[in-house]
Amino acid sequence: MLSTLLNYRLYANDIAKSIQRVSDQATVEREAAYYKANIGKVETVDDLLKDYKLYSYAMKAYGLQDQIASKGLMKKVLQSDLTDANSFANKLTDQRYRQFAASFNFSSTGTKAIQTPAQTGLLTEAYSEHRVRAAAKVSATVTQYGNAVQSITNVDDLLADPVLFAVVAKVANQDPATADKAVLRDALLNGSSSSNTGLAGLRSMFNFQADGTLQAGNPVQTASQIADISATYFDRMGAGASTQAAALKVSYFNDRIAGITQASQITDDEQLFGYVLTAFGLDPTTESPSFVLNILNSQSGDASSALASMPTSTSGEITRKNKLVALNAAFNFTGTGAVPAGETALDSATTTASLEQKFYANYQTSANSDDARRTSVMEARLSNMKTINDLLGRDSAFGKAAFDYILTAFDIDPTTESSAKIRKVLLSDPSDPNSYVSKLKDERYEKLAAAFNFDAAGKVTTQRLAQSVSSQTTTGSLYAATFGKDVSTAQKSLITAATKDYLTAIGEVRSLDDFLSNDKLVKYALTAYGLEKEKISASDLKKLMTSDLSDPKSFANTKGDKRYVDFVSAFNFTPKGLIAREADGVQGGAKLLTTQNQYVLQTMEEQVGENSEGARLALYFLRKAPSITTAYGVLADKAVFETVRTALGLPASMANMSIESQAKLLESKIDFGDWQDTKKLDKFITRFSALYDIANGSSSSSSSVLSLFGNSSSGSTAGSLLSYL
C-alpha cells in the first residue's frame, strides 16, 4: 500500500495535470456540461433549488454537500445581501455559506438597466457640479480678457484678438463661431437698434469713438465696464450664479449706484436689474423690466400705483407683493422715476452693504431651483426609457430636456453636439482602446459612455464594473482585517476614509489603464489581498490583471501563490484588458468558472480519499493553508485542525481545552507566514504525512476522516485550484 506522502505526491507534483485528468472523466464532463448549459436558465432562488442536478453540483463545489437537504437554510443564504454585515449569510460563522451566496447574482448585481442607481447618482452629482466647473473655465477666460483688453487701442485690434472677440460675441448673444465681425463692429461704434439686447447694449460697454479709435487718455474700458462685460459673459455662459460672477456683479452695482439718477437706469441695465431683483428674492428672468420700473416709481398712498394694484388673492401673490414692496422701499424715486434733488437712489435706510448681503443670500437660489427642476425631469424621463432611441429622442412633454441635462452634466454643449455622434459614443466600450469613444481621446465622452448600459445593438444590458459590489465589500473587509483585531479609534477613522476613497475611485474606473494609473487605488487593493509587500512592477501588474484564470499557464496561475489568483479574480478585467459586464443571469464569468473549478477540485480530493484519507487531508491543507493567518482560522476548520495537530504531534485531548488556550498553543508553534512559502508549506505537509502514517497505519478508518470535511470551508476564487504549485 502506498504511503500518504507518495499518494499526495502523485497528485501534488503536477496538480494541474491531476485536475485535468479528473475534468476529463466522462461523469465529471457530463455534470459540468449540464451545469454550464442550464445555470443561465435560472432566474430565482427557487429555480435553483428545484433543479437537483444544478443545486447539488453547486453545493458540492463549495463543500456543502452535507447540507443539500437543508433547502430552507440555503434559501436564506442565497437571498442574503452580502453588502449588509447583518444579513443571514454574513452572520453565519461558517464562511462556506457566504462564499456560496457570493457565487450567485440573486441580489442586486447583473440587473439590466439603462442606469443603475449608482450611475444615476454619479450623473446627478456631475450635473450639480457642472456650474462650478463651468465657472472655473469662464473665470479663466475673463481673467485673460481683463489682461488683454487693456492694451487695445482701436476696435479692429479688439475684434482681431480671438479671446476678446469670443467674449464680445457671446455678450452680444452671438455664437463666436458664426458671428459677423462687421455687425459687431457697427454695434461697438454706433450702437444697434436690434431687438437683441446684448447687441444693443454693446456700445455702452466700450469707449470707442465713431472712427474706432480711443480719445487720448481714455481707456478702452473702465474698471466698471470690464466688470459689466465680465459679469454678462458669466451669465451668457450659464455661470451667472457662481461666486466669481457674484463678486463682479456686486462690484459693478456698487460702482454704478452713486451715479443713478433715474429708475430706468436700473431697469435698462441687465446687470443692475438682475442684481436688485435677486437681492429681494425675485427672479430676473420672469419679471418684466417695464413692470419693475412702475414698481420703483410707485408712491406710498397712491391707490392707483402699480404696487397698490397688485393682487393678493393667494399666498403666492402675497409673497411676491411683499418682496416688491421691500424693493420699492429700498429706493428713493419719485413718481416720474427721478431721484429727488440732493438725495441718492438708495433710500437712507438702505446701504450698499445691506443690499450686498441680501444679494449674496439669494444669488444661487434661482440656479439651484432650476437645477432641481431639471434633475426631477431627467429622473422622470429616465424611469420610462427602454432603448437608446428613448434617450436620444424628443419627448412629447419635456422635449430634449433629458438629453440636454445629460450632456451638460459631462460638459458637452447640447446645442452643438449631434445625436449621431452621441449614439456612437453610447454604443462604445470605454474600456476598449480601439472603440469609437476611446479614439476620441476626450474624457467627457468616456464618462458619458460609462454612465449608461447599452449593448452594440442599442438594447439595455448590464453595467460594466471594474469590480462588482460584492467584491468591493469583500475587498473592504479584507483591507480592514489587515489592521488586526485591536484597532484604535484613529486607525478606524483612517480605515473608513481609505475605504470611502477606494469605493469612490473603483466606481469611476472606466478602463484597465484607469485602474493601473491610480497608485492609491492599486495600493489599497494589494494591501487587502496581502500583496502590498511584493515587488510587483507596472508591467507585471498589467499581466496579472489580464490573466486568464482558466489557463494554468497564465501569469497569475504560474505565480504559485493563491493570493495573486484571489487578487485577480476580485476584478472584472478580461484577458484582453476590457471590463466585463456584470453577469447576465444568476451566475456567469469568473463565478461560473470558480464553481466548476471548485467542483472538480472537490471531486479530485474525494477520489484521492478513496485510496488514502491522509493524502486527501494533505491536498486539502495544501489548498487551504495559504489563506489561513490565525490560530482561530485553524480551529474553525476541522480538517485543517486535524492536519496541524498531527503534524505538530499534539494530542487529540487538546480539544478539551478552552478555545483561547488552544489558540495560544497553536500560535506558539506556528509561523503562519511559512504557509505562504511553497517550500515551507511542502515541508509541513511532508511532516504531516509521515506522522499520519505512523499514527494510523494502513488500517485507519476512513469514516473518521470523512467526518472532518463536514464542517470545513473551501476556497472561493476563480482558478484557485491552479495556484497550489
Task: Give the span between the Cα atoms of 359 and 488, in whole angstroms.
Answer: 47
pLDDT at res. 725: 27
Task: Give the span between the Cα atoms of 223 and 202, in whole angstroms.
Answer: 16
Contacts of 49 (CB under 8 A, 6+ apart): 55, 71, 74, 75
Pairs from 577-580 (Cβ < 8 Å, separation ≥ 24):
577/431, 577/433, 577/511, 577/512, 577/542, 577/545, 577/546, 578/429, 578/431, 578/432, 578/512, 579/429, 579/431, 579/464, 579/465, 579/466, 579/509, 579/510, 579/511, 579/512, 580/464
pLDDT at res. 384: 82
pLDDT at res. 332: 94
pLDDT at res. 707: 55
pLDDT at res. 657: 92
pLDDT at res. 110: 55
Q: Contact, 200 vs 172, CB < 8 A?
A: no
pLDDT at res. 20: 83
Domains and CATH numbers, the chain: 4-110+587-722 (1.10.3700.10), 128-259 (no CATH), 262-365 (no CATH), 469-569 (no CATH)
Task: Give the span between the Cα atoms of 508 and 235, in whole angstroms.
Answer: 31
pLDDT at res. 600: 87
Place of cell 482681431: 160
* Model pLDDT for residues 522-543, shown as the tens digit of each residue: 999 999 999 999 989 999 999 9
* Model pLDDT for residues 65-100, shown as the tens digit of each residue: 989 999 999 999 999 988 788 889 988 878 789 889
Task: Give the span between the Cα atoms of 428 and 579, in whole angstroms.
Answer: 12
Which residue positions in the chain have pLDDT lower than 50? 108-109, 699-703, 711-725
pLDDT at res. 462: 85
